[in-house]
Structure 1
Amino acid sequence: MTVPLSRRRLLTSAAALGGLLTVSGSLTACSRTEVGTGAPPGDADLLAELRKEGHVRVGFAGEAPYGFQDGSAALAGEAPTLHREIFTALGIRELRPTLTEFGALIPGLLAGRFDVVSAGMAITPERCAKVIFSEPEFVSPTALMVRKGNPKGLADLRSCAAKGVRVGVLTAAVEASYAKEAGVPDGSVVALAKQQDGLDALVAGRIDAFALTGISLRWLARTNQGAAVEVLDPFVPVVKGVKQYSPGGAVFRPGATALRDAFDTELAKITGDPARYVRLIGKYGFTKGEVPPRTLRTADLCKA
């Protein structure tokens, strides 16, 4: 069993209780609820209902490259692209988005404000106690961003420990624990507030490597074209003998098993064809290295 730590920072602050931000022009204000109960009705028949209506309401958090709006305000990113492909195959051609604080996605889903979360959300036992996940749609191995030419000759966090270099991590992110497990001294770990701070610190020589998921680092490099940095090949950290894959998936209400199962059937056709997978979401920094292993199952990931 491979139990991941979430790839995201701690998201249980007061912001998790914030209000929803609605995308301009999208039909997201209404919610399907059982009159007098506040509960979403008919989850058992939700797939048939969505096919009849011709659209599915999706919640996303505005986080590139997982789910965001591009320059034309269109819904883009890993999750919406995969989900659009899957729902089209299921006879549901339109995604109607609601932009939401990440911590409010699950409460919004449970309140019936949308039908699925399309945000690359990490599959964790704590979340599985509230909602149901698809099978993994990606894994997010860790990688290092280093200065161009990799002057320190680094490969992974163990090499950082061996060579005594300074490693940047995001504040409260899981990479800090990965670095500690790999033997990097606390004094050599530099906490940074945001991703851009990591790249800037690296270019300025304040750190020798920036540790984050390969997905995020490749996107960061893409949005900073011309910066004298490179992203090394990803690796899977091991904590207490357990590989940390940090997989993510689509999220559904607990009763929506028919919709989730139909989704999983189409998802398997994509993850089972790495060339198609990369063709769909390669532009967002996803490679064959992010294709989930067939042995990695949500049922196992949900076990505490």
Structure 2
Amino acid sequence: MAPPQRNISESKGQWPSGIRRRSLLAGVAALGAAGAIGGTSGCSQVPTADAKDGGHLLERLRAKGSVTLGLAGEQPYSYIGRDGKMTGSSPAIAKEIFKRLGVPKVEPFPTDFGSLIVGLNSQQFDVVAAGMYINPERCAKVIFADPEYQMLDAFLVRKGNPMKLHTYKDIARTGAKMATGVGYAELDYAKEAGVKDISTLPDQLAGLLAVEQGRVDVFVGTAVTVRNVVRQSRTTKAEATAEVTPLVDGKPVIDVGGFAFRTPETALRDAFNRELHKMKKTGELLDLMRPFGFKKDQMTEITAKEKCRP
């Protein structure tokens, strides 16, 4: 993902009224603190799977009564709120699906986005719940459930968009200074378009501050991420552009995000998929995701198999 924050009730998944930048900053600080704790004590103790029969992780999680989720601190996908609790669309989905699978408790393990796959495969946590974009490179390292959403990009620019940045080609043509998140897919899209001046920042809040202060001309992220940080911060110095469709080899790309599992754990992935598809059919998935800024046109029937093809 671009794949790569806010304060939503973990139980109800709703935006509090009057959220301000102080709340956003508190959430980011809480993420760092929780990550430091998780690095020493949040490590999953569930053994690795038996690759021969799809693994026994689900049985072990049921016996344990809990599952540990790898989070990346990116709103609206997964992050730690100012109350110190995990929130976001992915934890909300995980909580519901794992409850249906007989695992009543979900626990967070915050980490950097770029460390999620490594952390998963080293058994620091059981599942990546961060809205991670599905692509062939990642599919070579982990297995994905079918995606829960599809997403285009958007730009965070100074108020009035003085450099008229509406496409990646515009960024390249004007020589604008661009920033995005570490490990975000937008890095590759920008390079594909010929953008030269690219830096990385921890999250979209840092991106907003960099744009407001003139340190960069544009911060690039997923459309829902960029729009949410503008809305939550109530900034008067920056704005979100319309959705931007990235191009690869001249062809438009629509990204999709989903949950990632260790490669041997096909039994758990398949059980997760069955519940996910039930929720798509009934509309429950959109109901869970809507409070985090997702809309009906961001729901998708694309499969992980399709996006894993080279």
Indicate whether the TM-score tops 0.5. Answer: yes
Q: Which amino acid aligns with 1:303?
A: R
Matches of 2:190 and 2:224, distance apart in 1: 18
Residue 59 (str. 1) matches residue 73 (str. 2):
no
Give the 5 Å matches for 1:93-104: 93-104=104-115
TM-score by length of 1: 0.73
Structure 2 equivalent of residue 298 of structure 1: 304
Query: Structure 1 pair 119/235, CA: closer, same or farther in 2 (3 Å)?
Result: same
Residue 32 (str. 1) matches residue 33 (str. 2):
no
Q: Give the total of aligned pairs.
A: 276
Residue 73 (str. 1) matches residue 84 (str. 2):
yes
Residue 130 (str. 1) matches residue 130 (str. 2):
no
Instruction: Indicate the SS of the match to 2:149.
Output: coil
Q: What per-residue deviation string (whole Å, max 9, x for no partner) do you get for residues 190-235 of structure 1?
A: 6464544543454456766543221221232134223343323323
Q: Which amino acid aligns with 2:242?
A: D
Matches of 2:150 and 2:141, distance apart in 1: 22
User: 5+ residue gaps in structure 2?
Assistant: 5-34
| Displacement of 1:135 | 0.8
Identity rate of aligned residues, in percent?
Answer: 34
Matches of 1:114 and 1:45, distance apart in 2: 15
Q: Which amino acid aligns with 1:7?
A: A
Structure 2 equivalent of residue 284 of structure 1: 292
Instruction: Indicate the SS of the match to 2:230.
Output: helix
2:49·2:56 contact (CA, 8 Å) conserved in 1? no
Matches of 2:123 and 2:175, distance apart in 1: 48
Aligned residue among 253, 256, 273 for 1:264: 273
Residue 168 (str. 1) matches residue 168 (str. 2):
no
Query: Structure 1 pair 63/269, CA: closer, same or farther in 2 (3 Å)?
Result: same
TM-score by length of 2: 0.71
Instruction: Indicate the SS of the match to 1:64.
Output: coil
User: 5+ residue gaps in structure 1?
Assistant: 1-5, 10-19, 34-38
Largest Rg, 1 or 2: 1
1:60·1:117 contact (CA, 8 Å) conserved in 2? yes
Matches of 1:131 and 1:124, distance apart in 2: 10
Q: What per-residue deviation string (whole Å, max 9, x for no partner) do you get for residues 149-190 of structure 1?
A: 65777654456678x5846333775545545655x775xx56
Q: Which amino acid aligns with 1:240?
A: D
| Displacement of 1:100 | 3.2
Instruction: Indicate the SS of the match to 2:147.
Output: coil
Structure 2 equivalent of residue 214 of structure 1: 223
Give the 5 Å matches for 1:55-204: 55-148=66-159, 155-157=166-168, 166=176, 168-170=178-180, 174-175=185-186, 178-179=189-190, 186=196, 191=199, 193=201, 195-196=204-205, 198-203=207-212
Matches of 2:176 and 2:309, distance apart in 1: 35
Structure 1 equivalent of residue 262 of structure 2: 253
Q: Which amino acid aligns with 1:214?
A: A
Query: Structure 1 pair 89/238, CA: closer, same or farther in 2 (3 Å)?
Result: same
Computed over aligned residues only, the root mean square deviation of the Cα atoms, in angstroms, reads: 3.6
